[in-house]
Structure 1
Amino acid sequence: MNYENDNRVVLTLDAGGTNFVFVAMKNGRQLGESVRLPSQPNDLDKAIATIKEGFYKLIEKIGEKPAAISFAFPGPADYPKGIIYNVGNLPAFAGGVALADILEDEFKVPVFINNDGDLFVYGEALAGFLPYVNSKLAEAGSAKRYKKLFGVTLGTGLGGGLVADGELYIGDNSNATEV
Protein backbone atom coordinates (compact mmCIF):
# COMPACT_ATOMS: atom_id res chain seq x y z
CA MET A 1 0.00 0.00 0.00
CA ASN A 2 1.19 3.46 -0.84
CA TYR A 3 0.46 5.59 2.21
CA GLU A 4 0.83 8.79 0.18
CA ASN A 5 -2.35 7.90 -1.77
CA ASP A 6 -4.35 6.70 1.22
CA ASN A 7 -7.29 9.04 1.83
CA ARG A 8 -8.22 7.53 5.17
CA VAL A 9 -7.66 9.64 8.28
CA VAL A 10 -5.61 8.07 11.07
CA LEU A 11 -5.34 9.71 14.47
CA THR A 12 -1.97 9.34 16.13
CA LEU A 13 -0.55 9.93 19.58
CA ASP A 14 3.02 10.17 20.80
CA ALA A 15 2.54 9.15 24.43
CA GLY A 16 5.49 10.57 26.32
CA GLY A 17 6.00 10.82 30.04
CA THR A 18 5.71 14.61 29.98
CA ASN A 19 3.24 15.31 27.17
CA PHE A 20 0.78 13.53 24.92
CA VAL A 21 1.04 14.89 21.36
CA PHE A 22 -1.90 14.14 19.04
CA VAL A 23 -1.81 14.42 15.24
CA ALA A 24 -4.22 13.52 12.42
CA MET A 25 -2.65 12.00 9.29
CA LYS A 26 -3.98 11.61 5.75
CA ASN A 27 -2.10 10.79 2.54
CA GLY A 28 1.10 10.53 4.56
CA ARG A 29 0.78 14.12 5.70
CA GLN A 30 -0.28 15.85 8.88
CA LEU A 31 -3.72 17.46 8.87
CA GLY A 32 -3.68 20.76 10.70
CA GLU A 33 -1.85 21.53 13.90
CA SER A 34 -1.02 19.00 16.57
CA VAL A 35 -2.70 18.97 19.98
CA ARG A 36 -0.37 18.83 23.00
CA LEU A 37 -1.67 18.01 26.48
CA PRO A 38 0.12 17.11 29.75
CA SER A 39 0.31 13.33 30.12
CA GLN A 40 -0.91 13.04 33.74
CA PRO A 41 1.63 10.23 34.35
CA ASN A 42 0.60 9.40 37.94
CA ASP A 43 -3.21 9.31 37.62
CA LEU A 44 -4.71 6.63 35.35
CA ASP A 45 -8.20 8.14 35.14
CA LYS A 46 -6.80 11.57 34.26
CA ALA A 47 -4.34 10.07 31.74
CA ILE A 48 -7.11 8.16 29.94
CA ALA A 49 -9.40 11.21 30.04
CA THR A 50 -6.55 13.27 28.54
CA ILE A 51 -6.05 10.73 25.74
CA LYS A 52 -9.75 10.81 24.90
CA GLU A 53 -9.81 14.62 25.07
CA GLY A 54 -6.86 14.89 22.69
CA PHE A 55 -8.44 12.62 20.10
CA TYR A 56 -11.79 14.42 20.36
CA LYS A 57 -10.03 17.76 19.84
CA LEU A 58 -8.39 16.40 16.69
CA ILE A 59 -11.68 15.10 15.31
CA GLU A 60 -13.26 18.51 15.93
CA LYS A 61 -10.34 20.30 14.23
CA ILE A 62 -10.27 18.17 11.08
CA GLY A 63 -14.02 17.61 10.73
CA GLU A 64 -13.57 14.03 9.48
CA LYS A 65 -14.22 10.65 11.05
CA PRO A 66 -11.01 8.67 11.51
CA ALA A 67 -10.56 5.21 10.01
CA ALA A 68 -8.27 4.17 12.86
CA ILE A 69 -6.17 5.27 15.80
CA SER A 70 -2.51 4.28 15.80
CA PHE A 71 0.00 5.47 18.31
CA ALA A 72 3.33 5.11 20.00
CA PHE A 73 3.78 4.30 23.67
CA PRO A 74 7.09 4.23 25.54
CA GLY A 75 8.54 1.13 27.10
CA PRO A 76 7.59 -2.51 27.36
CA ALA A 77 3.99 -3.65 26.92
CA ASP A 78 1.89 -6.32 25.23
CA TYR A 79 1.61 -4.28 22.06
CA PRO A 80 -0.16 -6.89 19.89
CA LYS A 81 -3.02 -6.94 22.44
CA GLY A 82 -2.91 -3.19 23.14
CA ILE A 83 -2.20 -3.69 26.85
CA ILE A 84 0.06 -1.10 28.46
CA TYR A 85 1.94 -1.98 31.65
CA ASN A 86 5.10 -1.17 33.59
CA VAL A 87 5.88 1.99 31.67
CA GLY A 88 8.56 3.75 33.70
CA ASN A 89 7.69 7.31 32.73
CA LEU A 90 3.91 6.69 32.98
CA PRO A 91 3.52 4.86 36.32
CA ALA A 92 -0.29 5.15 36.27
CA PHE A 93 -0.35 2.33 33.68
CA ALA A 94 1.53 -0.15 35.92
CA GLY A 95 -0.15 -3.51 36.30
CA GLY A 96 -1.77 -3.57 32.88
CA VAL A 97 -4.33 -1.36 31.16
CA ALA A 98 -6.20 -2.61 28.06
CA LEU A 99 -5.90 0.79 26.43
CA ALA A 100 -6.70 -0.38 22.88
CA ASP A 101 -10.01 -1.86 24.05
CA ILE A 102 -10.88 1.30 26.01
CA LEU A 103 -10.28 3.50 22.96
CA GLU A 104 -12.01 1.13 20.51
CA ASP A 105 -15.10 1.23 22.74
CA GLU A 106 -14.96 5.04 22.90
CA PHE A 107 -14.25 5.88 19.25
CA LYS A 108 -15.65 2.81 17.42
CA VAL A 109 -12.55 2.44 15.21
CA PRO A 110 -9.64 -0.02 15.27
CA VAL A 111 -6.79 0.97 17.60
CA PHE A 112 -3.18 -0.03 17.02
CA ILE A 113 -0.55 0.59 19.69
CA ASN A 114 3.16 -0.01 19.30
CA ASN A 115 6.43 1.00 20.87
CA ASP A 116 7.60 4.56 20.15
CA GLY A 117 11.16 3.51 19.32
CA ASP A 118 9.91 0.77 17.00
CA LEU A 119 7.57 3.12 15.14
CA PHE A 120 10.26 5.79 14.82
CA VAL A 121 12.62 3.32 13.15
CA TYR A 122 9.83 1.78 11.04
CA GLY A 123 8.93 5.21 9.68
CA GLU A 124 12.57 5.96 8.86
CA ALA A 125 12.90 2.58 7.13
CA LEU A 126 9.77 3.04 5.01
CA ALA A 127 9.79 6.74 4.19
CA GLY A 128 12.80 8.45 5.74
CA PHE A 129 16.48 7.71 6.16
CA LEU A 130 16.68 4.27 4.51
CA PRO A 131 15.00 5.24 1.20
CA TYR A 132 17.06 8.44 1.19
CA VAL A 133 20.36 6.56 1.54
CA ASN A 134 19.31 4.03 -1.09
CA SER A 135 18.32 6.81 -3.51
CA LYS A 136 21.73 8.43 -3.07
CA LEU A 137 23.41 5.07 -3.74
CA ALA A 138 21.33 4.69 -6.92
CA GLU A 139 22.23 8.23 -8.05
CA ALA A 140 25.89 7.37 -7.56
CA GLY A 141 25.50 4.28 -9.75
CA SER A 142 25.95 1.79 -6.92
CA ALA A 143 24.05 -1.51 -6.95
CA LYS A 144 24.21 -1.60 -3.14
CA ARG A 145 20.90 -1.16 -1.29
CA TYR A 146 20.35 -1.34 2.45
CA LYS A 147 17.46 -3.38 3.82
CA LYS A 148 18.07 -3.17 7.57
CA LEU A 149 17.91 -0.24 9.95
CA PHE A 150 18.49 -0.01 13.69
CA GLY A 151 17.79 3.17 15.59
CA VAL A 152 17.92 4.55 19.11
CA THR A 153 15.52 7.17 20.49
CA LEU A 154 16.21 9.67 23.23
CA GLY A 155 13.35 11.48 24.99
CA THR A 156 11.99 11.23 28.50
CA GLY A 157 13.33 7.66 28.23
CA LEU A 158 15.62 5.65 25.94
CA GLY A 159 14.35 3.23 23.29
CA GLY A 160 15.19 1.54 20.04
CA GLY A 161 13.87 -0.31 17.02
CA LEU A 162 14.95 -2.67 14.25
CA VAL A 163 13.56 -3.12 10.73
CA ALA A 164 14.88 -5.90 8.47
CA ASP A 165 13.67 -6.42 4.90
CA GLY A 166 10.70 -4.10 5.45
CA GLU A 167 9.49 -5.93 8.57
CA LEU A 168 9.48 -4.48 12.07
CA TYR A 169 11.23 -6.88 14.44
CA ILE A 170 9.56 -7.00 17.87
CA GLY A 171 10.63 -10.47 19.03
CA ASP A 172 8.50 -12.95 20.92
CA ASN A 173 7.64 -10.48 23.70
CA SER A 174 7.11 -7.31 21.62
CA ASN A 175 10.12 -5.74 23.38
CA ALA A 176 13.07 -7.10 21.40
CA THR A 177 14.94 -3.83 20.99
CA GLU A 178 14.07 -2.08 24.24
CA VAL A 179 17.16 -0.44 25.70
Structure 2
Amino acid sequence: MRSGKVWVGFDLGGTKMMAVVFDDRFGKLGKKRRKTRGHEGQEVGVGRIVTTIREALVDADVEAEQVSGIGIGCPSPVDMVNGVVREAVNLSWVDVPLKTLVQDEFACPVEIANDVDIGVYGESRFGAAKKATHVLGVFPGTGIGGGFVANGEILCGAQSSCLEIGHIQVRPEGRLCGCGRLGCLETESSRLAIAAEIAKVAYRGEAPTILAKAGTNISEIRSGVIAASIEAGEEAVIEIVTQAANQIGSAVASVVHLLGPDCVVLGGGLVEAMPKLFVKHVNDSAQRRAMDSFQSTFQVTAAQLGDDSTVLGAAGWVEHLHGN
Protein backbone atom coordinates (compact mmCIF):
# COMPACT_ATOMS: atom_id res chain seq x y z
CA MET A 1 0.00 0.00 0.00
CA ARG A 2 1.26 3.48 -0.93
CA SER A 3 2.57 5.61 1.93
CA GLY A 4 1.65 9.30 2.14
CA LYS A 5 -1.60 11.02 1.31
CA VAL A 6 -3.30 10.82 -2.06
CA TRP A 7 -5.47 13.59 -3.51
CA VAL A 8 -7.77 13.61 -6.53
CA GLY A 9 -8.42 16.68 -8.68
CA PHE A 10 -11.40 16.63 -11.04
CA ASP A 11 -12.22 18.97 -13.92
CA LEU A 12 -15.89 18.81 -14.90
CA GLY A 13 -16.31 20.59 -18.23
CA GLY A 14 -19.21 21.05 -20.58
CA THR A 15 -17.73 18.64 -23.13
CA LYS A 16 -15.05 16.67 -21.25
CA MET A 17 -14.23 15.56 -17.74
CA MET A 18 -10.85 14.60 -16.32
CA ALA A 19 -9.69 13.05 -13.05
CA VAL A 20 -6.04 13.19 -11.97
CA VAL A 21 -4.58 11.39 -8.94
CA PHE A 22 -1.75 13.18 -7.11
CA ASP A 23 0.68 12.17 -4.39
CA ASP A 24 1.32 14.33 -1.33
CA ARG A 25 3.80 16.46 -3.30
CA PHE A 26 1.32 16.87 -6.16
CA GLY A 27 3.16 14.62 -8.54
CA LYS A 28 0.83 12.85 -10.98
CA LEU A 29 0.14 9.20 -10.27
CA GLY A 30 -2.61 8.53 -12.80
CA LYS A 31 -5.43 10.11 -14.78
CA LYS A 32 -8.53 9.42 -16.83
CA ARG A 33 -10.34 11.61 -19.35
CA ARG A 34 -13.74 11.03 -20.97
CA LYS A 35 -16.61 12.92 -22.60
CA THR A 36 -19.09 14.59 -20.24
CA ARG A 37 -22.31 13.87 -22.17
CA GLY A 38 -24.22 16.37 -20.09
CA HIS A 39 -27.33 15.93 -22.24
CA GLU A 40 -27.85 12.48 -20.70
CA GLY A 41 -28.96 14.00 -17.39
CA GLN A 42 -27.82 14.51 -13.82
CA GLU A 43 -27.88 10.89 -12.67
CA VAL A 44 -25.85 9.66 -15.62
CA GLY A 45 -23.46 12.60 -15.28
CA VAL A 46 -22.73 11.94 -11.62
CA GLY A 47 -22.26 8.27 -12.41
CA ARG A 48 -19.69 9.16 -15.07
CA ILE A 49 -17.82 11.35 -12.58
CA VAL A 50 -17.61 8.47 -10.10
CA THR A 51 -16.54 6.01 -12.79
CA THR A 52 -13.89 8.38 -14.14
CA ILE A 53 -12.40 8.83 -10.66
CA ARG A 54 -12.35 5.06 -10.11
CA GLU A 55 -10.62 4.52 -13.46
CA ALA A 56 -8.01 7.18 -12.62
CA LEU A 57 -7.34 5.37 -9.34
CA VAL A 58 -6.82 2.12 -11.24
CA ASP A 59 -4.39 3.91 -13.56
CA ALA A 60 -2.54 5.20 -10.48
CA ASP A 61 -2.58 1.78 -8.78
CA VAL A 62 -4.29 3.37 -5.76
CA GLU A 63 -7.16 1.90 -3.74
CA ALA A 64 -10.19 4.11 -3.08
CA GLU A 65 -9.61 3.72 0.66
CA GLN A 66 -6.23 5.47 0.29
CA VAL A 67 -7.72 8.71 -1.06
CA SER A 68 -7.49 11.57 1.44
CA GLY A 69 -9.78 13.93 -0.45
CA ILE A 70 -11.36 14.81 -3.80
CA GLY A 71 -11.68 18.32 -5.23
CA ILE A 72 -14.01 19.06 -8.15
CA GLY A 73 -14.11 22.18 -10.34
CA CYS A 74 -17.53 22.77 -11.94
CA PRO A 75 -18.70 25.11 -14.75
CA SER A 76 -21.33 26.71 -12.53
CA PRO A 77 -21.94 29.00 -9.59
CA VAL A 78 -21.39 26.75 -6.57
CA ASP A 79 -22.59 26.73 -2.97
CA MET A 80 -19.14 25.96 -1.57
CA VAL A 81 -20.36 25.32 1.98
CA ASN A 82 -22.87 22.63 1.04
CA GLY A 83 -21.21 21.50 -2.18
CA VAL A 84 -24.20 22.17 -4.41
CA VAL A 85 -23.88 22.91 -8.13
CA ARG A 86 -26.33 25.78 -8.51
CA GLU A 87 -26.80 26.07 -12.27
CA ALA A 88 -24.52 24.36 -14.78
CA VAL A 89 -26.11 25.57 -18.01
CA ASN A 90 -23.97 23.38 -20.29
CA LEU A 91 -24.99 20.30 -18.30
CA SER A 92 -28.63 21.30 -17.66
CA TRP A 93 -27.99 20.79 -13.93
CA VAL A 94 -29.79 22.82 -11.28
CA ASP A 95 -29.13 22.47 -7.53
CA VAL A 96 -27.25 19.17 -7.74
CA PRO A 97 -25.80 18.11 -4.32
CA LEU A 98 -22.59 16.89 -5.93
CA LYS A 99 -20.49 16.91 -2.77
CA THR A 100 -22.85 14.52 -0.97
CA LEU A 101 -23.30 12.26 -3.99
CA VAL A 102 -19.55 11.80 -4.53
CA GLN A 103 -18.76 11.62 -0.81
CA ASP A 104 -21.20 8.75 -0.43
CA GLU A 105 -19.23 6.79 -3.04
CA PHE A 106 -15.73 7.35 -1.68
CA ALA A 107 -16.12 8.03 2.06
CA CYS A 108 -13.52 10.82 2.06
CA PRO A 109 -13.72 14.63 2.14
CA VAL A 110 -15.04 16.15 -1.10
CA GLU A 111 -14.93 19.85 -1.98
CA ILE A 112 -16.80 21.49 -4.86
CA ALA A 113 -15.86 24.87 -6.36
CA ASN A 114 -16.38 26.90 -9.51
CA ASP A 115 -13.92 25.78 -12.18
CA VAL A 116 -12.41 29.22 -12.78
CA ASP A 117 -12.08 29.89 -9.04
CA ILE A 118 -10.26 26.61 -8.67
CA GLY A 119 -8.12 27.27 -11.74
CA VAL A 120 -7.07 30.63 -10.30
CA TYR A 121 -6.28 28.89 -7.01
CA GLY A 122 -4.12 26.45 -8.97
CA GLU A 123 -2.19 29.28 -10.63
CA SER A 124 -1.80 31.10 -7.31
CA ARG A 125 -0.41 28.04 -5.54
CA PHE A 126 1.45 26.15 -8.26
CA GLY A 127 1.72 28.38 -11.33
CA ALA A 128 2.11 31.91 -12.65
CA ALA A 129 1.07 33.71 -9.45
CA LYS A 130 3.01 31.76 -6.80
CA LYS A 131 4.69 34.91 -5.50
CA ALA A 132 1.49 36.99 -5.31
CA THR A 133 -0.86 37.35 -2.34
CA HIS A 134 -3.98 38.70 -4.10
CA VAL A 135 -4.68 37.13 -7.48
CA LEU A 136 -7.37 38.00 -10.02
CA GLY A 137 -7.90 35.42 -12.76
CA VAL A 138 -9.67 36.11 -16.05
CA PHE A 139 -10.24 33.20 -18.43
CA PRO A 140 -11.82 34.10 -21.80
CA GLY A 141 -13.30 31.16 -23.68
CA THR A 142 -16.85 30.46 -24.86
CA GLY A 143 -17.75 32.91 -22.10
CA ILE A 144 -15.43 34.76 -19.73
CA GLY A 145 -14.84 33.41 -16.25
CA GLY A 146 -13.23 35.14 -13.30
CA GLY A 147 -11.90 34.20 -9.89
CA PHE A 148 -10.04 35.79 -7.00
CA VAL A 149 -7.69 34.32 -4.40
CA ALA A 150 -6.61 36.39 -1.38
CA ASN A 151 -3.94 35.12 0.99
CA GLY A 152 -4.52 31.55 -0.16
CA GLU A 153 -8.32 31.62 0.16
CA ILE A 154 -10.90 31.64 -2.64
CA LEU A 155 -13.14 34.69 -2.54
CA CYS A 156 -16.81 33.72 -2.51
CA GLY A 157 -20.11 35.39 -1.71
CA ALA A 158 -22.59 34.75 1.07
CA GLN A 159 -24.58 32.23 -0.98
CA SER A 160 -22.29 31.01 -3.75
CA SER A 161 -19.15 31.57 -5.76
CA CYS A 162 -18.88 35.01 -7.29
CA LEU A 163 -16.63 37.26 -9.43
CA GLU A 164 -18.60 36.77 -12.64
CA ILE A 165 -16.39 39.26 -14.49
CA GLY A 166 -17.84 38.13 -17.81
CA HIS A 167 -21.11 39.78 -16.79
CA ILE A 168 -19.73 43.22 -16.01
CA GLN A 169 -21.57 45.53 -18.37
CA VAL A 170 -19.15 47.24 -20.75
CA ARG A 171 -21.63 48.48 -23.36
CA PRO A 172 -25.11 49.44 -22.04
CA GLU A 173 -26.73 49.22 -25.47
CA GLY A 174 -24.67 46.22 -26.55
CA ARG A 175 -25.54 42.70 -27.62
CA LEU A 176 -27.88 40.42 -25.71
CA CYS A 177 -25.93 38.07 -23.46
CA GLY A 178 -26.87 34.50 -22.66
CA CYS A 179 -27.62 35.67 -19.12
CA GLY A 180 -30.45 37.85 -20.47
CA ARG A 181 -28.70 41.21 -19.98
CA LEU A 182 -27.26 43.60 -22.54
CA GLY A 183 -23.64 44.45 -23.21
CA CYS A 184 -21.84 42.05 -20.87
CA LEU A 185 -18.08 41.72 -21.28
CA GLU A 186 -18.41 38.25 -22.74
CA THR A 187 -20.63 39.56 -25.57
CA GLU A 188 -17.63 41.68 -26.63
CA SER A 189 -14.51 39.73 -25.70
CA SER A 190 -15.19 35.99 -25.43
CA ARG A 191 -13.82 33.66 -28.08
CA LEU A 192 -17.35 33.26 -29.41
CA ALA A 193 -17.81 37.04 -29.73
CA ILE A 194 -14.40 37.44 -31.36
CA ALA A 195 -15.11 34.60 -33.80
CA ALA A 196 -18.43 36.18 -34.80
CA GLU A 197 -16.70 39.45 -35.71
CA ILE A 198 -13.87 37.66 -37.50
CA ALA A 199 -16.38 35.68 -39.60
CA LYS A 200 -17.66 39.00 -40.96
CA VAL A 201 -14.24 40.24 -42.06
CA ALA A 202 -13.43 36.82 -43.52
CA TYR A 203 -16.64 37.00 -45.56
CA ARG A 204 -15.54 40.42 -46.84
CA GLY A 205 -12.19 38.96 -47.93
CA GLU A 206 -10.13 40.76 -45.28
CA ALA A 207 -8.87 37.60 -43.54
CA PRO A 208 -7.69 35.05 -46.12
CA THR A 209 -6.07 32.79 -43.51
CA ILE A 210 -9.38 32.49 -41.67
CA LEU A 211 -11.25 31.84 -44.90
CA ALA A 212 -8.82 29.11 -45.94
CA LYS A 213 -8.69 27.34 -42.57
CA ALA A 214 -12.23 27.81 -41.22
CA GLY A 215 -14.40 29.60 -43.75
CA THR A 216 -17.05 31.74 -42.09
CA ASN A 217 -18.26 29.02 -39.73
CA ILE A 218 -18.00 30.52 -36.24
CA SER A 219 -17.61 27.11 -34.60
CA GLU A 220 -14.51 26.46 -36.75
CA ILE A 221 -12.84 29.80 -35.99
CA ARG A 222 -10.89 28.51 -33.02
CA SER A 223 -8.03 30.03 -31.07
CA GLY A 224 -5.29 28.42 -33.16
CA VAL A 225 -6.83 29.65 -36.41
CA ILE A 226 -7.13 33.18 -35.02
CA ALA A 227 -3.50 33.07 -33.91
CA ALA A 228 -2.42 31.96 -37.40
CA SER A 229 -4.29 34.89 -38.93
CA ILE A 230 -2.58 37.32 -36.58
CA GLU A 231 0.80 35.73 -37.35
CA ALA A 232 0.05 36.34 -41.03
CA GLY A 233 -0.45 40.03 -40.27
CA GLU A 234 -4.14 40.26 -41.16
CA GLU A 235 -4.95 43.71 -39.80
CA ALA A 236 -8.72 43.31 -39.55
CA VAL A 237 -8.30 40.31 -37.25
CA ILE A 238 -5.56 42.00 -35.23
CA GLU A 239 -7.89 44.96 -34.63
CA ILE A 240 -10.79 42.74 -33.49
CA VAL A 241 -8.66 40.79 -31.01
CA THR A 242 -6.95 43.95 -29.75
CA GLN A 243 -10.30 45.61 -29.10
CA ALA A 244 -11.47 42.53 -27.21
CA ALA A 245 -8.33 42.53 -25.07
CA ASN A 246 -8.79 46.25 -24.39
CA GLN A 247 -12.34 45.59 -23.15
CA ILE A 248 -11.03 42.90 -20.81
CA GLY A 249 -8.46 45.37 -19.56
CA SER A 250 -11.20 47.88 -18.83
CA ALA A 251 -13.08 45.31 -16.74
CA VAL A 252 -9.84 44.34 -14.99
CA ALA A 253 -9.32 47.97 -13.97
CA SER A 254 -12.76 48.01 -12.35
CA VAL A 255 -11.90 44.93 -10.30
CA VAL A 256 -8.49 46.38 -9.42
CA HIS A 257 -10.28 49.38 -7.90
CA LEU A 258 -12.50 47.06 -5.85
CA LEU A 259 -10.12 44.32 -4.71
CA GLY A 260 -6.55 45.52 -5.30
CA PRO A 261 -4.82 42.43 -6.71
CA ASP A 262 -1.06 42.38 -7.11
CA CYS A 263 -1.29 39.85 -9.95
CA VAL A 264 -3.77 39.35 -12.79
CA VAL A 265 -3.57 35.93 -14.47
CA LEU A 266 -5.02 35.47 -17.95
CA GLY A 267 -5.88 31.92 -18.98
CA GLY A 268 -7.90 29.85 -21.41
CA GLY A 269 -7.36 28.78 -25.00
CA LEU A 270 -7.36 32.27 -26.51
CA VAL A 271 -4.62 33.44 -24.19
CA GLU A 272 -2.62 30.22 -24.63
CA ALA A 273 -2.67 30.77 -28.41
CA MET A 274 -1.75 34.49 -28.23
CA PRO A 275 -0.18 35.14 -24.81
CA LYS A 276 1.97 38.15 -25.70
CA LEU A 277 -0.85 39.98 -27.47
CA PHE A 278 -3.35 39.46 -24.67
CA VAL A 279 -0.97 40.24 -21.83
CA LYS A 280 0.22 43.45 -23.51
CA HIS A 281 -3.17 44.88 -24.42
CA VAL A 282 -4.99 43.83 -21.25
CA ASN A 283 -2.19 45.30 -19.17
CA ASP A 284 -1.98 48.54 -21.17
CA SER A 285 -5.76 49.01 -21.07
CA ALA A 286 -6.04 48.24 -17.36
CA GLN A 287 -3.14 50.54 -16.45
CA ARG A 288 -4.63 53.40 -18.52
CA ARG A 289 -8.00 53.08 -16.83
CA ALA A 290 -6.74 52.56 -13.29
CA MET A 291 -6.56 55.47 -10.86
CA ASP A 292 -3.07 56.89 -10.39
CA SER A 293 -2.70 55.29 -6.98
CA PHE A 294 -3.45 51.83 -8.44
CA GLN A 295 -1.24 52.03 -11.52
CA SER A 296 1.80 49.76 -11.38
CA THR A 297 0.48 48.03 -8.23
CA PHE A 298 -0.36 44.91 -10.26
CA GLN A 299 1.19 42.87 -13.04
CA VAL A 300 -0.63 41.00 -15.79
CA THR A 301 0.70 37.58 -16.75
CA ALA A 302 -0.34 34.52 -18.73
CA ALA A 303 -1.32 31.32 -16.92
CA GLN A 304 1.30 28.58 -16.83
CA LEU A 305 -0.57 25.38 -15.97
CA GLY A 306 -2.79 25.00 -19.05
CA ASP A 307 -5.26 22.11 -18.74
CA ASP A 308 -3.77 21.19 -15.36
CA SER A 309 -4.86 24.41 -13.62
CA THR A 310 -8.27 23.04 -12.61
CA VAL A 311 -7.19 19.54 -11.56
CA LEU A 312 -4.15 20.82 -9.66
CA GLY A 313 -6.18 23.60 -8.10
CA ALA A 314 -8.97 21.21 -7.09
CA ALA A 315 -6.55 18.73 -5.51
CA GLY A 316 -4.66 21.55 -3.82
CA TRP A 317 -7.86 23.10 -2.49
CA VAL A 318 -9.13 19.93 -0.83
CA GLU A 319 -5.64 19.36 0.61
CA HIS A 320 -5.64 22.95 1.92
CA LEU A 321 -8.92 22.32 3.75
CA HIS A 322 -8.35 18.74 4.91
CA GLY A 323 -4.61 18.10 4.80
CA ASN A 324 -3.86 18.45 8.51
Shorter-chain TM-score: which interval? 0.7 to 0.9
Which residue of structure 2 lines up, in the alignment, with residue 74 of structure 1?
75
Displacement of 1:171 in angstroms is: 2.2
Which residue of structure 2 lines up, in the alignment, with residue 176 of structure 1?
162
Which one-letter code corresponds to 1:123 in the other structure?
Answer: G
Displacement of 1:158 in angstroms is: 2.9
Contact 1:17 1:156 in 2 (8 A): no
More helix by proportion, 1 or 2? 2
CA distance in 2, matches of 1:101, 1:36: 22
Which residue of structure 1 lines up, in the alignment, with residue 226 of structure 2?
none
Q: Which runs of 5+ in 1 are unaligned?
A: 1-5, 135-145
CA distance in 1, matches of 2:124, 2:118: 10
CA distance in 1, matches of 2:141, 2:57: 27
Contact 1:121 1:149 in 2 (8 A): yes
Which residue of structure 2 lines up, in the alignment, with residue 125 of structure 1?
124
Contact 1:10 1:66 in 2 (8 A): yes
CA distance in 1, matches of 2:5, 2:140: 30
2:52 matches 1:54: yes
Q: Which has the larger radius of gyration?
A: 2
Q: What is the aligned-residue identity percentage?
A: 30
Displacement of 1:157 in angstroms is: 4.2
Contact 2:38 2:91 in 1 (8 A): yes
The correspondence of residues 14-163 of structure 1 with structure 2, limited to 5 A, is 14-26=11-23, 27-32=25-30, 34-42=31-39, 43-64=41-62, 65-91=66-92, 93-94=93-94, 96-131=95-130, 134=131, 146-163=132-149
Which one-letter code corresponds to 2:68 in the other structure?
Answer: A
CA distance in 2, matches of 1:157, 1:67: 33
TM-score when scaled to structure 2?
A: 0.46
Q: What secondary structure, in the 3-state scheme, does the structure 2 residue paired with 1:106 have?
A: helix
CA distance in 2, matches of 1:10, 1:156: 29
CA distance in 1, matches of 2:161, 2:106: 27
Contact 1:18 1:156 in 2 (8 A): no
Displacement of 1:72 in angstroms is: 0.5
CA distance in 1, matches of 2:75, 2:67: 23
CA distance in 1, matches of 2:155, 2:86: 20
Contact 1:16 1:156 in 2 (8 A): no
TM-score when scaled to structure 1?
A: 0.80
CA distance in 1, matches of 2:54, 2:153: 32
Q: What secondary structure, in the 3-state scheme, does the structure 2 residue paired with 1:130 have?
A: coil
Which residue of structure 2 lines up, in the alignment, with residue 138 of structure 1?
none
Q: Which runs of 5+ in 2 are unaligned?
A: 167-324
Which one-letter code corresponds to 2:113 in the other structure?
Answer: N
Q: What secondary structure, in the 3-state scheme, does the structure 1 residue paired with 2:50 have?
A: helix
